Amino acid sequence: MNEVSSNFVSVLREIASKWQTVWSSGKVYDAEPDPKRPKFFLTAAFPYPNSPPHLGHARTYGTADVYARYMRMKGYNVLFPLGFHFTGTPIITMADDIARGDRELIDIFKSIYDIPPDKISMLADPLFMANYFKDEIKAALTEMGMSLDWRREFTTIDPEFSSFITWQFKKLSERGFVVKDTHPVGWCPVHNLPVGMHDTKGDVEPEIGEFTLIYFETDSGILPAATLRPETVLGVVCIWINPSEKYVSVEMDGKKFIMAEKAAQKLAFQVDDLRIVDKVDHSKLLELKAKNPLTNMFVPVIQAEFVDPLMGTGVVMSVPAHAPFDYFYIKKKGLKVTPIKVIDVPGEQVPLAVKLVDQHPPKGKEELEKLTEEVYKTEFHRGKMSPDVLQLAAPQHREELSKLVGASVKEAREMLTSFLIRKGQGRRIYEMMNRPVYCRCGNETVVKLLKDQWFLDYGNEKWKELSRELLAQMRLLPEEVRKDFQYSIEWLEKRACARTRGLGTPLPWDKRWIIESLSDSTIYMAYYTFVKTMRDAGIRATQLTPEVWDYLLLGEGDVKQVSQRSAIPEDVLSKMRNEFLYWYPLDSRHSGKDLIPNHLSFFIFNHAAIFPRELWPKQIVVNGFVLYEGKKMSKSLRNILSLRRAIRTYGADTVRLTVLGGAEIGTDSNFTDSDAKSVLEQLRWLYEFSRSITGSETVDVPERWLMSKLQLAVGDVTTAMEQLRLREVMNTLVYKLRYYVEDYLDMVKAANRGPNEKILRQFIETWIKMLFPLAPHISQEIWSSLGHRTLLDTEKWPVMESSLVDVESELSVEYIHSLIDDIKSIMNVVGGRAEEASIYVAERDKGELLRKVILELKQGKGFGELMKEMRPHDRESANLLRRVIEQASQMKVELREKVLAINLDELSVISKFSSYIAMKTGLKAVKAYEASMMKVHGVKKDSLPMKPAIMLLTKG
């Protein structure tokens, strides 16, 4: 960073610290109910204090902060609180890593987060770690200028919060949404515990799917082919096994099987009686013939490197007619087998997998996967089981399978799976569909069939229906994420909700279990609304009986009796209830998109389960990630840039603008040094410029143009803000408005006069009001340096003043800019040697012709129709009309509208801006004439309205 920039960073840091002190000592962000004002309650997902914050956090929390500041300026009474999530494995695993002396982590703590070496060993204590990083996060978010009401901060191990969660779980249980059951879950084989998204590296929710095992008998035992497409079993041509993996014989369900050793070890978590008996000689396997249980035909066993020993059983059935992978490898290996088609797709003669692989020979795994998806989708949606399947089926099965002919893929899949299970020729198993998913301890997770455990039953149809209803009435930003939520609501099933490890609240009816982190964080936003009053009144957890929570959150019971029984004063109870009712429902929930399939969906489910419809949340905002080294910046992936360090390096406002303006809301972004430096430079310019405004009182085209541009920017920025399209907001506020000011200064300089001080001041003031939510410190500093005593938080968000939108000045300047571009292009051609330009503008009646043509085009008339209707008298006017129509057709809509509104006096505009044109082009003189003067000057050129003829004169 050069000296000027680094000096300016020091200025920014001083400014930030000054205003942060003002905000905190003035309690500016402490929010209290005020029935006279509309309220806006927003929250961002509370952080795990298992590390200091990184730049990814700046995006999620920063977006919420921008929104909070914007809504305050729109006149809302805004509550924006933040608590800390101490629950569960993320903290305990990180503390364990320190205790084990994990060098990489210790190094990150020291060299990236600047944690003093003497503190590091103390972080091995989970509670010390949580509290230490809680303070770090608070400090970083304060340094970033977050407008949080810190009085409402809490942790999820506060006894009062635990009481709240206990109540929530009892309610869910009463409503039938907590069940004891046996169900597949993601599982860490080392911790011996279920794993949800917050327990995994990179926050991946394990996705569990169902495979069908189909038993192909051989002389040495059953080869259980694992498939997602049992409907294709009649088309099997061989069995694939992996030549470089170990295979074992296994006893399971009273039968003898052969499968990959790794698969067997994994399957043992689902099948209790699975026992590995012996190793199987690989070469023997290849000699086996496997009997298809439906056709009774024998197929060979063939080796294939692509078989994954950890997916299913490591035994795969090959169906080349319907699986591009199978067809591709059969071709590649030169095997003489004919694909057997069992699904017909209307209009397709050749089996789809064969056709696609032959037509688009895939270059690698990725392309094969794409083709596979295409085949699966097409066959699933349009395919019907072929009549040939009856001939393929063994005679004894034909009658029972007769319904298969003409069935859809979905129907056939179910029919065949239950047929195979009924006949003892198959079973279901579960598989981790998005494997590998790693536990935070580093081990790969597996699927376990968890017995007699506590689950939140997100598969309950009644619960799903309520959640669908809630989602349907919710605003989502960006709207495109709705389908992800819909998918998640449909897909969610029973979810293990307790662990035996980590901090948190015990399960009320079985205290050996701790409610896990994604289950105790679903409706905690309600807790913020009254926690401060509760604390101020000195209420103890023991007083917070279920009856108290019923009153506070559901309005049930008589407050007098509740007060008597709990010994909580009646006025305190009423106040807490009123606070809850004032702030709830939640107006906006913010998070990165990693939380869509889990936390944010659970948030929907649990609100729908607990609260009446009028208290359901109104909006979710989901932002993209800040990436680092191509992946989501994540504590658990350890690919991080420290937020506090970035603030020290570039200043808080620079970091906010760079992180938030890096991409539109739903898209991922990167933080780069060059982007941050570019933003820094813009802020420096704005800061210095705002301190140097002086000038005249003249108001002419440039002033009207500048004000007009400002109004349009107010309109655009406001629309973008409503959608939190912060990239667009940033581009306008950081780059575009500066360009307007500089252009304006050039215009007045060329006119040999000073700028209009009042207008410039007005421009800057409106500008920084809009900049304030994104860059609060510098905006507030400039505001006060302009002599204002107020805080920008209390200023109104600017409203576009349509009366100041000046079409004539807009059109004039646009016309001049395009003329400058044309002159420059011609100068390029002549090698820049020109010294003077003569501009010949079309007569004004031609301008009228252009306007008439635009009007007709607007009414949908075409070229031929216009030529016919406007009947030009002679060839010359026909020629002119043709060119004007062409010109009008090529104009952008906005320009057409301006031309329609104003018949520009081109001659006078050029005369007014001739010095400006000269300044921008480097010419010595610019002269303007009516087109009729071309004859006099002997110029053989044409001019059209808004497209004057340009003659450049060169010397020498």
Ligand X SMILES: Nc1ncnc2c1ncn2[C@@H]1O[C@H](COP(=O)(O)OP(=O)(O)OP(=O)(O)O)[C@@H](O)[C@H]1O
User: How many whole angstroms separate alpha carbon 440 and alpha carbon 352?
Assistant: 42
| CA 255 – CA 277 distance, rounded (Å) | 12
The minimum distance between CB 522 and ligand X, in angstroms, equals 14
Q: Which is nearer to ligand X, 577 or 632 (CB)?
A: 632
Cβ count near 162 (within 10 Å): 20
Alpha helices in 438-590 (DSSP H): 461-472, 482-491, 525-536, 546-554, 559-566, 570-583
How many Å apart are CA 603 and CA 489, to the nearest integer? 11
Between 258 and 633, name the residue whose CB sits nearer to ligand X.
633
Q: CA dist 811 to 571, 616, 705, Å?
A: 64, 49, 9
* Smallest separation, CB 713 to ligand X (Å): 28
Q: Is 44 left (phi over 0), alpha (psi -120 to 50) or beta?
A: beta
- The distance of Cα 871 from the centroid of its chain, to the nearest Å, equals 57
Q: What number of H helices and E strands is found in the chain? A: 37, 30
192 φψ region: left (φ > 0), alpha (ψ -120 to 50), beta (else)? left
| Shortest CB 622 distance to ligand X, Å | 9
Q: How far apart are CA 57 and CA 70, in angstroms?
A: 20
Element housing 198 (H / E): none
What is the SS3 assignment for 380?
helix
Closer to ligand X by Cβ: residue 231 or 587: 587
Answer whether the bond into residue 478 is a cis peptide, omega within 30°: yes
Smallest gap from Cβ 646 to ligand X, in A, equals: 13
CB nearer ligand X, residue 202 or residue 362:
202
Residue 276 CB neighbour total at 10 angstroms:
16
Q: Provide the minimum distance between the beta carbon of 50 and ligand X in the complex, in angstroms, as a whole number.
A: 6
**Letter for the amino acid at 796?**
K
The answer to whether 831 touches 919, Cβ cutoff 8 Å, is no
Q: Which is nearer to ligand X, 22 or 99 (CB)?
A: 99
In the complex, least distance from residue 734 CB atom to ligand X, rounded to whole angstroms: 21
Tell me whether residue 268 or residue 620 sits nearer to ligand X (CB atom): 620
Nearer to ligand X, 343 or 665 (CB): 665
Q: Minimum CB separation from ligand X for residue 502, in Å?
A: 13
Residue 630 C-beta: closest distance to ligand X, Å? 12
**Distance from CA of residue 734 to its chain's centroid?**
23
Closest C-alpha among 216, 415, 238, 228 to residue 340: 238
Compute the least distance from the CB of residue 61 to ligand X, in Å: 7
CB of 169 to ligand X, least distance (A): 23
d(CA 902, CA 847): 10
Q: Which residue carries 């960006």 as its tokens?
A: 478
Pairing of the two strands 626-628 and 669-670: parallel
Please say which residue, 320 or 592, places its beta carbon nearer to ligand X. Answer: 592
**CA 34/CA 86 separation, integer angstroms:** 32
φ, ψ of residue 95 to 5 degrees: the values are -65, -40
CB of 249 to ligand X, least distance (A): 41
Nearest distance from C-beta of residue 132 to ligand X, angstroms: 15
- State the minimum distance, in angstroms, from the CB of residue 172 to ligand X: 23
With beta carbons less than 8 A apart as the criterion, state whether 744 and 701 touch: no
**Cβ neighbours of residue 207 closer than 8 Å, sequence gap 6 or more:** 432, 433, 434, 491
Nearer of residues 339 and 624 to ligand X, judged by Cβ: 624
Largest interatomic CA distance in the chain: 108
**Cβ closer to ligand X: 56 or 945?**
56
373-377 contacts, C-beta under 8 A, 24 or more apart: 375/322, 375/323, 375/324, 376/229
Q: At its nearest, how many Å lie between ligand X and the CB of residue 518?
A: 11
Give residues in contact with ligand X (CB under 6 A): 45, 47-48, 56-57, 59-60, 90, 203, 591-592, 594-595, 625-626, 632-636
- The alpha-carbon radius of gyration of the chain (Å, integer) is 36
Kindly state the tokens that stand for 902. 């104003």
Can the peptide bond before residue 585 be classed as cis, meaning omega within 30 degrees of 0? yes
| In contact, 290 and 218? CB cutoff 8 Å | yes
- Chain position whose Cβ is nearest to ligand X: 56
What gap in Å lies between CA 820 and CA 840, rounded to an integer?
14
Quick one: 304 or 477, whose CB is closer to ligand X?
Answer: 477
The two beta strands, 39-44 and 77-79, are parallel
Q: Nearer to ligand X by C-beta: 205 or 810?
A: 205
Q: Is 511 one of the annotated binding-site residues?
A: no
- Residue 930's φ and ψ, nearest 5 degrees, are -70, 155
Of the pair 47, 948, the CB lying nearest ligand X is at 47
The residue (of 200 and 914) whose beta carbon lies closer to ligand X is 200
Contact 714, 798 (CB under 8 A): yes
Binding site, annotated residues for ATP: 635
Binding site, annotated residues: 635
